[in-house]
Structure 1
Amino acid sequence: MTNHEPGKSTDAAIWDRRFAEHPWPSDPDARLVELVSPLPAGRALDLGCGTGRNALWLARNGWDVTGVDASAVGLAQAASGAKSIGVTLSLVEADLSTYQPASFSFDLVVVANMHFATHLRQGLYERAVSAVAPGGHLFIVGHHVDSFGRSGPPERDRLFSVELVTEFARGLEIGLVEREERWVNGEPEPLIDVVLWARRAITNDSGRS
């Protein structure tokens, strides 16, 4: 099922073209699989789900998944993938620079490789954090600034550092944040990512966790 929100980002047409031009990776992020596998399935939100590689893995493992992206082409491919493996995704076409998920509503929020312009990204990650339910988790992965010129966007200031990604998760308990090297077939050097895993504390009525 795909819902539409008016007012698409100007990046949507670019991503429509990219997703249409060639097949995109279908495997989920390896660190996401590692970190999520021990958890009981619940409600998951995949912001910038693209063609659905992480959303599909989550749904196949029992999660109730909402995937949000500005690209209608990417969402159509995600819907096709869901149909082919017999799972259901709730898909929303929306501009992620303004999309507001329900607060404290998701047991898992995934933001994978979303490299917004600097004036937009703080709002994106504040809204992502706000969507994490008490006891829920936030997973972020993105290209490290040391990968500039090899992977990720062409603007250096859109890339990540450990310090920047830690700031994105303000208000949550940081379980893991690290610079990670990742080897890709055919690449002479490893690509470098930043991975973050954080949790919202469960508080009692007095505000204590």
Structure 2
Amino acid sequence: MDSQDWDDRYAASELVWGAEPNMWVVRELTGRTPGRALDVAAGEGRNAIWLAAQGWEVTGFDFSAVAVERAERLTAELPDEVADRLTWRHDDARTFEPPATGYDLVLVAYLQVPARDRRTALRHAADALAPGGTLLVIGHDLHNLTEGIGGPQDPRVLYTPDDVLADLAGLGLTTVRAERVHRLVGGEPGHRGGGGGTAVDLLVRLERGAG
């Protein structure tokens, strides 16, 4: 899907992915000391908004202008102390230019694109890390096609923890976690697959050395 396809999808319904943050984002990041965070392909901003509520200074971007506009509208409804921590941009994960100072956290959640684009986006995301920073990658796993429910049904945009590690090889990152995880799906917004079941996700968490 290109940016126009995503614009159409976001325009067709309110809160495609719901308002609650992803469960793996909450599991992995609850209690972490807040710093500067980047949410890559942030959609309507549910994870970025949660991070800001935890005290993070968050920049979120997406290549769908409609998604970014919705994130900005949601931000306007937040308390000032949360809204002031959020910055939104219309940008592309494959081409964005990270600042020289880097981020303490870079989140890439459910970026489902063909392998070549994924590798480019993930390496850009890694380049955005500050020394000591964490890169958290979450996605629909390839095994979800046969063992899970919902998510994209095109194997070309699905991947595995090993694919993420291969994409990021040679960048000097330390692997903290690289695994498949199972998520209960009960008809949540944005998910195909009927009345409920278990989805297979991938979760990879890496860290850059403190320098």
Establish whether TM, by shorter chain, passes 0.5: yes
Opposite residue 201 of structure 2, the aligned amino acid is: D
CA shift digits 1:1-58 (9 cap, x unpaired): xxxxxxxxx7111111111112321111112112212221110000000100001001
1:179 equivalent in alignment to 2:186: no
Matched-pair contact (CA < 8 Å) for 1:103–1:130: no
2:134 match: secondary structure: strand
Q: Which one-letter code corresponds to 1:199 in the other structure?
A: E
Shift of residue 153, structure 1, vs aligned partner: 3.0
Q: Which moved more, 1:38-47 or 1:27-36?
A: 27-36
AA aligned to 1:136 is: G
> How many Å apart are 1:94 and its aligned residue?
1.4
Equivalent AA in structure 1 for residue 184 of structure 2 = W
Cα root mean square deviation, aligned: 1.7
The correspondence for 1:49, drawn from 42, 45, 50, is 42
Q: Would the aligned equivalents of 1:165 and 1:194 in 2 still touch at CA under 8 Å?
A: no
1:192 to 192, 197, 200: 200
Counterparts of 1:19-34 in structure 2, within 5 Å, are 19-23=10-14, 24=16, 25-34=18-27
> Which residue is 1:4 aligned to?
none
8 Å Cα contact 1:169-1:198 kept in structure 2: no
1:3 maps to none
Post-superposition shift, 1:103? 4.6
Give the aligned residue type for 2:71: A
* Counterpart Cα distance in 1 of 2:186 and 2:160: 24
Report the Cα offset of residue 148 of structure 1.
2.2
Change (3 A) 1:113 1:94: same
SS in 2 for 1:34: helix
CA shift for structure 1 position 155 = 2.2
Q: Which residue of 1 aligns with 2:9?
A: 18
What is the TM-score normalised by the length of structure 2?
A: 0.85
Residues 69 and 95, structure 1, Cα contact 8 Å, conserved in 2: yes
Q: Which moved more, 1:169-178 or 1:48-57?
A: 169-178
In structure 2, list runs of 5 or more residues that go unmatched.
188-194
The residue that corresponds to 2:191 in the other structure is none
SS in 2 for 1:115: coil
Q: What pairs with 1:14-93 in structure 2 (closer than 5 Å)?
A: 14-23=5-14, 24=16, 25-86=18-79, 87-88=83-84, 89-93=86-90
Please, which of 113, 118, 122 is the counterpart of residue 110 of structure 2? Answer: 113
Q: Choose 26-35 or 107-116, whichever is displaced more.
A: 26-35
CA shift, 1:168, in A, is: 3.4
Preserved contact between residue 104 and residue 134 of structure 1 (Cα < 8 Å): no
Letter in 2 for 1:165: V
